[in-house]
Each structure stands twice: as C-alpha cells, then as structure tokens.
C-alpha cells in the first residue's frame, strides 16, 4: 500500500487495559451469532429470538422508550460493568493504575483500526459548525454553508457541493451521514473531486461508525471524526480521529506536543490528564459489536425503521424527510400542520417515548433513532402513538 493512501488512528477517550476482559455476555452473543450459520443479515434482522438475546445484554429502564439513540446510546451491561471496574481499579492508586491502562492504549487502537479499515498510525466529533464559525470570527475566513432538500440523493448532494466550489476554496467539510435525517453522503466521490482540485476534505462521521458497513480506507478523505458512544455503544465521551498519513505532519495539534511527535498521530492526544476508565471499556464495546457484526446491526436498524415508516408513509399528512431506500437507524418524520416540538412533547407526555425535535427552515419533524436493544413492541408503540396523534390531534391543553 502506498504511504499516501494509508490511514492512521488517534483516539479521544479510547484505550485498553491489561485487566481481564469480562467475556460472559459477549461470548453468549457470539454463540448466538455462530448459531445463525449462513443466514443473510436481512433474514436475521427479523429473527426476534436472536435479537432477544441481544436485548437481554442491556440493563435498561423499560418504563421509557428511548428512540433518541442518535444522541448517545446505553452501553451493554458488560461494557458498563467494565467501565465501573476500570474506574475502581484506577482509583486504587491513580498515578500507578491509570498509567498501566494508558500504556495499553495501543491494543484498542489496533483493534479499532482493523475493524473500521485503516492503519493504526492514522485516527476525533465536535461541534463542527460552531468551530468553523469561531475560525471565521478570529481569522476572517469565509464559510459557505450549503442547504439541501430532504429527502435527496447522493448525486444531488455531489452536484450541490461541487457547484459551491470556487478557486478560493481550501476545505470541503461534510457529513458521512447527517444527524438530522440520516442522509448519507457520497464520501469517496466527494473526496476524489476535492483532491483533484487541491482541496482538503474533513468528514463528520459521528453517526456512521458501527452503524452501517464501510471501511475508512475506501472513503479517501483527509480527516474523519466519529463518536463511539453512539452506535458502537462505548462509554460517553469516546471517539476517534482518522488523519490521512500525509496530513499528520502538516496539522498542528490543538494542545502543544513535542517536536519529535510531528509525524506521530499520538500528538493529537496531548490533552492532559483524562479518565482512563472511559478509555478502557472501549475494548468490551468493540468485542460486543464484533460478536454481532456490522452487517447484522445495519440490517436490524433498517428493519426497525422500515417497520414504522412503511406503516405511516401512506398517510398524506405524514412527511418522511429521509430516503427510505438508504435508511438505517436515523429517520426524520413530521406531520403536516403540527410543529415538531409539539409532536416531541406529545410523545413524551402521553407515551413516555423519547425522541428529539428537528426544527429547520426547510422542514421540521422528530428524529427517530432506535437501536439493537429496541424490541418490536416499542416500535409498534411509537407507530400507535403517531396514529393516535394523526387521528385525534393534540390534547386540548397543548393544541
């Protein structure tokens, strides 16, 4: 592989530990997956006995229905227990035990790189728009933001972004999958187009990793940031940054690093003292995910989303802002003449369903994001809640 095509991994709150991995529930899930044999992911997506095993691996408050996993997801019990165990271990003598854990960070770096398709020497999610806005205020750079219709296509997005480029364009920053509607962008095509024009590409992949199948090396962008507390089910605050190898030396870290680290991806990890326990439990989260497999996760998320979307889409008042031909676990739906915050409040007040309101000038709706622990009963309750609202309208007190 040519050097300039290799990819490298920087961890944000990700790490490993020498403490023994708690494998009981992970092994049970792995056994259930092996028993599936050669069945396709789409076939397995509808196998409730298999997904019941997955659901039982979580300790949850089932008096609520959490359909806002796009914010952050609960970790499986084995991951949460590992996090607490590492926290206790670190607290016994932080200066010593935390150091033991942090010195083993390379284990999880290698495992993440292998799973998601890059070199362990190239791999961050932040408030991207506010970051650029601050750069504009401080350094007077020009930011051009592109709005797009919903739903839309990858071809349309490519055309919109290409059409916005001028001879002065230096950076093209876009999502892999948007957090608002689940729209997927044609990352590889955009990266190739930008590179041919000498433009740097930055991809916000907060909702992509462990959500649907892809390999980072195939996307060909320069920078890629993601969260791991969403679809990988790792502890809150974890994530990674991918940096193409030929960009590492050219990119300054936000906090000072020694000159000898100029070509080392680890220079971006100079963030001072941070919790080792959060980092350590990524190993368990990755093992749990691998016991299921990304293909099965993606197929199940698509199955759950289509279960409610296909039942509701025939109603002329229902507005689905996500293309159902490419949907996985993120979908945005609205009701004509009912503002998204009212729908969101109705879901919580009457049904104790957690969603989030998406209010945009071009469209509005609630974002619905189930996860692999979500049973069909909860999806059907959401469908019934939407049908209730469509038939009966808002309660008098909130209308």
How confident is the model over 218-260, as pLDDT tens digits? Answer: 999 999 999 999 999 999 999 999 999 999 999 999 888 899 9
Mean pLDDT lowest for which of 133-142, 287-296, 311-320? 133-142
- Look over the chain and give the mean of its residue pLDDT values, rounded to a whole number: 90
Cβ atoms of residues 165 and 191 within 8 Å: no
- Per-residue pLDDT band for 10 (boundaries 50, 70, 90) equals low
Give dist(CA 48, CA 166) in Å, integer.
52
For residue 372, what are the contacts with CB-CB under 8 A and spacing of at least 6? 51, 54, 55, 292, 297, 300, 301
- Per-residue pLDDT band for 399 (boundaries 50, 70, 90) equals low
Q: Judge whether residue 267 has pLDDT over 70.
A: yes
- Picking from 280, 353, 376, the residue whose alpha carbon sits closest to that of residue 45 is 376
Residue 75: what are its φ and ψ, rounded to 5°?
Answer: -80, 150
Give dist(CA 196, CA 93) in Å, integer.
53
Helix residue ranges per DSSP H, 140-244: 154-164, 187-196, 216-219
Cβ atoms of residues 60 and 372 within 8 Å: no
Q: For 19-29, write each residue's pLDDT tens digit.
A: 333 347 899 99
Helix residue ranges per DSSP H, 17-153: 24-34, 41-44, 48-55, 77-92, 94-103, 105-116, 128-139
Cβ atoms of residues 245 and 4 within 8 Å: yes
Q: For 103-113, write each residue's pLDDT tens digit.
A: 777 889 899 99
Kindly state the average pLDDT of the residues 289-296. 98
């Amino acid at each position: 592989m040519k050097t300039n095509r290799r990819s490298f991994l920087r961890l944000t709150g990700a790490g490993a530990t020498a403490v023994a991995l708690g494998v009981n529930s992970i092994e049970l899930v792995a056994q259930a997956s092996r028993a599936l044999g050669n069945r396709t992911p789409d076939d397995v997506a509808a196998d409730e006995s298999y997904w019941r095993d997955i659901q039982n691996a979580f300790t949850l408050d089932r008096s609520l229905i959490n359909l806002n996993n796009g914010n952050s997801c609960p970790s499986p019990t084995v991951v949460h227990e590992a996090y607490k165990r590492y926290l206790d271990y670190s607290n016994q003598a932080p200066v010593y035990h935390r150091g033991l854990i942090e010195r083993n960070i390379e284990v999880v770096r290698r495992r993440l790189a292998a799973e998601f398709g890059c070199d362990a020497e190239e791999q961050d999610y932040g408030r991207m728009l506010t970051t650029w806005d601050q750069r504009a205020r401080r350094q007077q750079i020009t930011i051009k933001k592109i709005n797009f219709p919903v739903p839309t296509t990858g071809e349309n997005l490519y055309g919109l972004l290409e059409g916005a480029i001028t001879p002065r364009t230096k950076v093209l920053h876009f999502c892999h999958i948007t957090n608002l509607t689940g729209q997927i962008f044609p990352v590889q095509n955009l990266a190739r187009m930008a590179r041919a024009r000498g433009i740097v590409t930055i991809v916000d992949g907060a909702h992509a990793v462990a959500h649907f199948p892809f390999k980072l090396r195939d996307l060909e962008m320069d920078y890629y940031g993601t969260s791991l507390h969403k679809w990988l089910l790792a502890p809150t605050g974890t994530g990674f940054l991918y940096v193409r190898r030929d960009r590492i030396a050219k990119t300054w870290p936000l906090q000072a690093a020694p000159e000898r680290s100029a070509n080392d991806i680890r220079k971006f990890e100079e963030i001072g003292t941070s919790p080792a326990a959060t980092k350590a439990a990524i190993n368990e989260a990755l093992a749990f995910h691998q016991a299921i497999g990304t293909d099965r996760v993606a197929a199940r998320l698509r199955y759950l989303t289509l279960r409610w979307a296909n039942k509701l889409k025939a109603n002329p008042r229902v507005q689905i802002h996500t293309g159902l031909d490419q949907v996985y676990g993120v979908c945005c739906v609205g009701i004509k003449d009912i503002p998204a915050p009212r729908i969101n409040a109705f879901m919580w007040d009457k049904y104790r369903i957690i969603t989030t309101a998406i209010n945009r000038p071009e469209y509005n709706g609630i974002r619905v994001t189930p996860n692999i622990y979500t049973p069909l009963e909860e999806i059907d309750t959401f469908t019934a809640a939407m049908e209730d609202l469509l038939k009966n309208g808002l309660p008098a007190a909130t209308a």
